[in-house]
Amino acid sequence: MEIQIQKNVALRQFTTYHTGGPAQYFAVARDWQTFFHLREFAKKEGMPFLILGGGSNVLFADEGYPGMVVLNQMDKVAFHPEAVTSESGVHLMKLIALAAQRNMGGISALANVPGTVGGAVYGNAGTRDLWMGDALLSAIILPENGDKPMQVDKDYFKFGYRDSVIKKTKDIVLAATLKLKPTPAGVIRIEVNEYIKSRMAKQPMGLSCGSFFKNPTHFPSAGWLIEQAGCKGMKEGGAMVSDKHANFILNTGNATTKDILTLALKVHQMVKEKHNTILEPEVQIFPTNPFKS
């Protein structure tokens, strides 16, 4: 097997924020063996290792990523009577469409979630209507220190709000089996359109990572807290706090990651002063999260 490892590949092209510098090493994986070999290579070289899915929940430093970034393009999908097993590089929207072609639904609410199956399992992505953890039956992972794929059930992931155990264990999700419900394609189309319409009514469509901060557990939502702290419309270079939804920090076209982070840190501070609440970023920030003290 020949794996192509490239050097200094611009990461902005792979993220919805369209910012960020180059990856020191970059490769594409279309099978689990490639993941395994690249992870071994990174371990041997003592460098950080990162898997990139849809790039919709990541923010890379303008200086780039000092390690190995692997773009997940594993895209096989197999249907079962009332479930589907999808490799982790498949975009959720594509999976919903493929299932709809077979009159299988039950996951329409995930149409509101950008990104891939693997990213959605990693961060238990979803909305109030459906979390990835609710739809998941089982998964195939490459364990952190293992050299063979392993099947695990849903409990393995210890799903929480925007959280799963693999954020700590560093297992690689290779495939996920989601439960489906027989639903006519026409009904699925209407459901998906409704979800997209309601999202578009509340959220801005520009370049972003979706919600920047997690909602606090015991307070009103991050969007409300940020709006009440007076941050809507605030700008820093090419970055701006959305006028439509305060928990969206937009790249208005020419923002750098530094602009976005400087603005987000100001928002963080203003919310702390106004509400005595510490917001935690939802977006994954690499290589260093400036919000961690």
Indicate which residues carry an active-site annotation: 162, 211, 282
Residue by residue, DSSP assigns 65-93 as: EEEEEEEE----EEEETTEEEEETTSBHH
Give whichever of 85 and 124 is closer to ligand EPU, judged by the CB atom: 124
Binders of ligand EPU among residues 56 to 115 (CB under 6 A) are: 112
Q: Which of residues 225-264 bind ligand EPU (CB under 6 A)?
A: 227, 245-247
Interacting residues of 244 by C-beta distance below 8 A, sequence separation 6+:
202, 203, 204
Q: Which stretch binds ligand EPU (CB under 6 A): 140-148, 169-177, 216-224, 269-277?
A: 216-224
When asked if residue 292 is in the footprint of ligand EPU (CB under 6 A), the reply is no
Q: Between β-strands 239-241 and 22-29, what pairing exists: parallel, antiparallel or unpaired?
A: unpaired
128 binds ligand EPU (CB under 6 A): yes
> Of 130, 147, 144, which is closest to residue 51 (Cα–Cα)?
144
Number of shown-chain residues binding ligand EPU (CB under 6 A)? 18
- Burial class, 222, CB count within 10 angstroms (exposed 0-12 / middle 13-18 / buried 19+): buried
CA distance 64 to 82: 43
Two structure tokens written together for 61: 């430093």
Tell me how far, at minimum, the Cβ of 223 lies from ligand EPU, in Å. 3
Q: Taking the complex as a whole, how short is the minimal distance between the CB of residue 159 and ligand EPU, in angstroms?
A: 14
| Count of helix runs (H) and strand runs (E) in the chain | 8, 16
Taking CB under 6 A as the rule, does residue 202 contact ligand EPU? Answer: yes
Residue 218 engages ligand EPU in binding (rule: CB under 6 A)? no
Q: Is 277 in the site for ligand EPU (CB under 6 A)?
A: no
Q: For 215, which DSSP code? A: P
Report residue 197 as tokens. 């319409």
Assess 134 for contact with ligand EPU (CB under 6 A): no
Using a 10 angstrom Cβ sphere, with 0-12 exposed, 13-18 middle and 19 or more buried, the burial of residue 44 is: exposed
Per CB under 6 A, 224 contacts ligand EPU = yes
Distance CA 54, CA 282 (A): 15
Contact track, ligand EPU, 155-194, x by CB under 6 A? ----------------------------------------
Out of 261, 282, 285, 286, which residue is the one contacting ligand EPU (CB under 6 A)? 282
CB of 289 to ligand EPU, least distance (A): 16
The CB-of-210 to ligand EPU minimum distance in angstroms stands at 2
Binding site for ligand EPU (CB under 6 A): 112, 127-128, 199, 202, 210-211, 214-215, 221-224, 227, 245-247, 282
